[in-house]
Amino acid sequence: MSEFHDLGEISLNQDDQAWGNLGYWRDETEYSAACRALALLLGDAAELDANSIVMDAGFGCGDQLLLWRDHYKVAQIFGINFSKSQTEFAKARLQKSDPGPGQNPAPSALQYGDATDPRAWAFEYPGGKPDRVVALDCAYHFPGRTDFWKLSARYLQSEGKVTVTDFMLAKDHQPSSLNHRLLLWMLTRSQIPAGNMVTEEKYIVQMQQAGFEHINILDISERVMPGFGKWWRGYRDGPGGQQMRWRSRLKYGVTARFLDWAWRKNVLRYCLISGTKP
Ligand SMILES: C[S@@+](CC[C@H](N)C(=O)[O-])C[C@H]1O[C@@H](n2cnc3c(N)ncnc32)[C@H](O)[C@@H]1O
């Protein structure tokens, strides 16, 4: 059976990369570079380093795992992804790729599963529980994100940190507006549970209720939401886009229009969020 999260995004990438996020667009003109920039923003905010034991929820095709391993040189990586094809692909890449001269690859354990399901978190954790939980551009897809906060808080070491990039409702968004009805329609098409779209105030309360403190929210919408569409329209009309299957062209075209609309109408905000377990 085909999966919603599959290997389709590979066709947007360059140089054997396989990112699948919305990107962080400063001067980047290529999709892979913008995706890597968003991952670096998250990795820096998570303060990943050689002591980090990382749990990555929604690791896509594995590019970010290579970044945690080879750029931040983290100690250990665990990962959960609700895509069988991506999990197999990422496992193979991690096994095949060389972390660099004189480097020992960080041990990793990856499995298919839902990051809101306690069974998916049941690893052996031989070096101890994670002190970092990260979710790059995917927490809005989780079925009931509050369960993800609870599991993160349960499995994190004391003083551990959860860091995600995620959508939330814009401050002045009106739940009774036509824009809201359009948003609900778009969310259904994109497999995003409507209940995950909450205001910043509610987002903070949900994290606090799960046990997090020192919650930090940085609005990065301006560098994420308009950038994807601008890039896509150029790519679509070039050789890469012309060779793409019509279904993929439709999918990315709809994503681009949705992001442009949600940005222009100030319906959604895209943020970098972190919180610490006491
Ligand atoms: C937009 S993609 C981002 C992929 C990757 N983080 C990246 O930046 O390239 C969303 C990812 O979240 C994963 N995902 C969606 N729902 C999930 C869930 N309930 N538990 C774990 N992973 C999930 C998908 O399989 C996919 O890999």
Helix (H) or strand (E) segment spanning residue 36: helix 31-45
d(CA 118, CA 112): 13
Q: Is residue 262 part of a domain?
A: yes
Q: Is residue 3 part of a domain?
A: no
Q: Is residue 30 part of a domain?
A: yes
In total, the chain counts a number of residues equal to 278
- pTM for this prediction: 0.96
Q: Is residue 2 part of a domain?
A: no
Instruction: Report DSSP state, residue 128.
Output: -
Which residues is 271 bridged to in the sheet?
Answer: 166, 219
- Which of 14, 32, 81 for mutating ligand 1's site (highest number of atoms within 8 Å of CB)? 81
Q: Is residue 191 part of a domain?
A: yes
Question: What CATH number does residue 183 fall under?
Answer: 3.40.50.150
User: What is the C-alpha end-to-end distance of the chain, expressed in Å?
Assistant: 43
Residues in contact with ligand 1 (CB, 6 Å cut-off): 5, 19-21, 35, 57-60, 64, 80-83, 86, 114-116, 136-138, 141-143
DSSP letters along 212-257, please? -EEEEEEE-HHHHHHHHHHHHHHHHTSHHHHTS-HHHHHHHHHHHH
Number of domains in the chain: 1
Span from the CA of 20 to the centroid of ligand 1 (angstroms): 8
The atom of ligand 1 lying closest to the CA of 19 is 9
Q: Is residue 160 part of a domain?
A: yes
- Which of 82, 116, 142, 190 for mutating ligand 1's site (highest number of atoms within 8 Å of CB)? 82
The atom of ligand 1 lying closest to the CA of 135 is 6
The pLDDT of residue 1: 66
Span from the CA of 245 to the centroid of ligand 1 (angstroms): 22
Q: Is residue 104 part of a domain?
A: yes
Written as six digits, the tokens of 173 are 């968004």
Query: Measuring CA to CA, how many Å separate 23 from each of 27, 51, 136, 155?
Result: 11, 27, 10, 29
The pLDDT of residue 11: 87
Span from the CA of 253 to the centroid of ligand 1 (angstroms): 20
Minimal-distance CA residue to ligand 1 atom 13? 58
Written as six digits, the tokens of 133 are 């939980």
pLDDT tens per residue across all 278 residues of the chain: 688 888 888 889 999 999 999 999 999 999 999 999 999 999 999 999 999 999 999 999 999 999 999 999 999 999 999 999 999 999 999 988 877 777 777 778 999 999 999 999 999 999 899 999 999 999 999 998 999 999 999 999 999 999 999 999 999 888 888 999 999 999 998 899 999 999 999 999 999 999 999 999 999 999 999 999 999 999 999 988 888 888 889 989 999 999 999 999 999 999 999 999 99
Phi, psi of 109 (to 5 degrees): -135, 120
Q: Is residue 194 part of a domain?
A: yes
d(CA 28, CA 44): 18
Range of the domain at 159: 8-276
Helix (H) or strand (E) segment spanning residue 111: strand 108-112
Span from the CA of 115 to the centroid of ligand 1 (angstroms): 9
d(CA 87, CA 148): 19
Span from the CA of 246 to the centroid of ligand 1 (angstroms): 23
